[in-house]
Amino acid sequence: MRDEAGFGEGLVMGDQGKALAEGLYWMAEKLMWGYEDTDINPVEAFRVYKRAADLGFSDALIRVGELQEHGKGTEQSAAEALAGLSVFPCAGGGLNITLQWLL
């Protein structure tokens, strides 16, 4: 099933899922920082990071937490950032660093 933006739900993180998640992450990076002459749009960047995180891309999950912590592109909420990061332990070393920022 697809949502209104055309993204699939519940994809298994196979090669195609990984490629989609990574592609979404890099699109969000462009939207967040204005790379390659992309207009900066933190709200849209947050939405796209969230999609990549929902697909299991750990870098996107970390970025979602950072944006929630600082209130960029979404409402500021350290509690939501911490809750979101704590449910995804396989995010690796970056997760520990991010969690330290939140505590």
For residue 40, what are the domain limits?
Answer: 15-102
Mean pLDDT (whole number) for 75-90 = 77
Any domain includes 31: yes
Q: What is the mean pLDDT of the chain?
A: 79
Closest CA to 30 of 48, 16, 18: 48
Which of 16-30, 32-46, 81-95 bottoms out in mean pLDDT, i.e. has the lowest? 81-95
The domain tally of the chain equals 1
Any domain includes 7: no
Any domain includes 33: yes
pLDDT confidence of residue 2? 46
Asked if 65 contacts 102 with a C-beta cutoff of 8 angstroms, the reply is: yes
Length of the chain: 103
Mean pLDDT (whole number) for 28-37 = 95
Any domain includes 2: no
Mean pLDDT (whole number) for 72-101 = 68
Any domain includes 8: no
pLDDT over 70 (residue 42): yes
| CA–CA separation, 30 and 34 (whole Å) | 5
